[in-house]
Chain A
Amino acid sequence: MTPSRTALLGLIGLPLAFFAAFFLIPLIVVFVASVTTTEGAGTLANYSRILFDAYHWEVTLVTFRLGVLTTAICLAIGYPLAWYLVRVVRWRAWRRICVILLVVPLFTSNIVRSFGWMVLLGRTGLVNDTLRDVGLIDRPIRFLGTETGILIGLVYILLPFIVLTIGNALAKVDRTVEQASADLGASPASTFWNVTFPLSIPGVVSGGIMVFALSVSAYVTPALLSGGRVTVLPMLVFQQYSSVFDFHYGGALAITLLVFTLVLIAAASLVSRLGAR
């Protein structure tokens, strides 16, 4: 039986309508606001205000520096962690416990977790106390209000995403392909670099993109851990929307963040594709 034309239209139309209503239209609203004045006339003044101002460039630089570092550190910690979960853990119950430990923090609020790090990273917090007791430092290190503090918070919050995506990709790698590699004379390290790692790249890329996008658009964690001393783009956007009520300037900031993010992701995927050749 072939479905009727109306049924087909419904099948195509419903998801389309869903995406339009929840993703496309809000974006258009923000974009339209960013290129109009309060009176409704078209303008690019909001963008020139951002692009011809050193302060905005500085904020953008901090935002993306944090994004790149967060992604890099998450990958560096997340890959071995995912490997451990998928390849090293033999006991299924223990693996399940590890995954639960990884996922449960996602159920609690971002704000609570960021406050937790404020307590841990404070002048007399657990981290400084421990470092002092061990004798590694004499005076407490200032984490709060620095990029390092924000970085620690972001890595902690975003790590589960990358572990889960890489773990998923690693679990999909066919073990007999690795055996074939060993059979052809490749040492375990050579098998990893020539077979396992290339086959897990889809997980690395999707996890990396997710963490990068989430870290450059993060508001709560940078806001709480910056102590007002470090500013990132989402904080500027939030100010414009919630305190200044300038939706036009705020919209332009949001679109700027979006464009920069997309350009960076495109560049990264281009580089990785060229590297794969």
Chain B
Amino acid sequence: MALAQTTETPIGVGAQQRSVSPWIAKQAPNLLLGLVLVLLPAVANDFILDQILGWTLILGMIALSLMFLAGYGGMVSLAQMSVAGVSGYMIAVLGTSSLPKISLFWPWWVAAPLSIGIAVLFGTFAGALSARTEGIYTIMITLALAAAFFYLTLQNWPVFNGFNGFTTIPAPHFLGVNWRDPVPLYYMILFFAALSYAVVLYLSRSPFGLALQGVRDNPRRMEAIGYNVTAHRIAAYAFAALIAAVGGILMVWLNNQISPFSIGIDVVINLLVIAVVGGLSHPIGPFIGALIYVILRTFALDALVAVGLDGRRFQTLIGLGFLIIVLFSPDGVVGIWRRLSERARAAGGRNGA
């Protein structure tokens, strides 16, 4: 678990001891980023809002649930995309879609919580299956589970409508706002992404999060102290599933469709790529990874052609980038940034002294 174990706690601790500066100064980058994201609809067009940023935030949320498990729990679960898929499929089955034969057309305030509940059950079940085995087995078991769900949706017609999946699954209309319009949809996605980011950040410093990191670093010692290691792992899976499930519903509302290929094996693997490239040591990592991925996917084709390369080699580009990150910066982009800022601080300190 070399990726995960390295550095987590020192970020906040050192800053707290050194500076007595007020909360606002410490949170300045976060607040600035939030302000930019909130004010963005004033300048950006609908394409950038939904297809770039909305998609980034949703992928970031689902990758965040992976990061929470991998970074704090040491469990690299590839089933998180399937958890999102379960809630996405359930909102189509229980709620509204273009298939009256399957969909139940329940109101959103029944369908959405129920979908999330079913997805959390699925995620917890995946966790219970893999939490009893050691580290590296998790990746295999969850990959197999994700594949099982993909094949189930592909072959099953009565519930999942097989190959075709569902289309026309709009976001609801409530509080006098039509949430399927680009700007309200963007704000809804932003709200849930920010909420899950904040909750993960909070949880990582809570007793539960600290115990989870203890379980990651030394399960035997935690067991000896009296913690229930398996229970902590399964609880982490349940919480991660909650984030992924919300992300799944937002994904369906944004794309207006879901099919087996929204949760295929390549998507599952891309999600891991996103989380690792962004960095598994801080909750901002998955969002950075998602932004890089979405921008690459949107513009790489044109860029590759412009340089004179074959635009279809996009996957090779992704694979190479991923490989470089894994080989040279196991902490992802967050790790690179942290190292650069530490070097800058060290240089500044030397100059000052």
A and B from one complex: no
B positions within 8 Å CB-CB of A: none
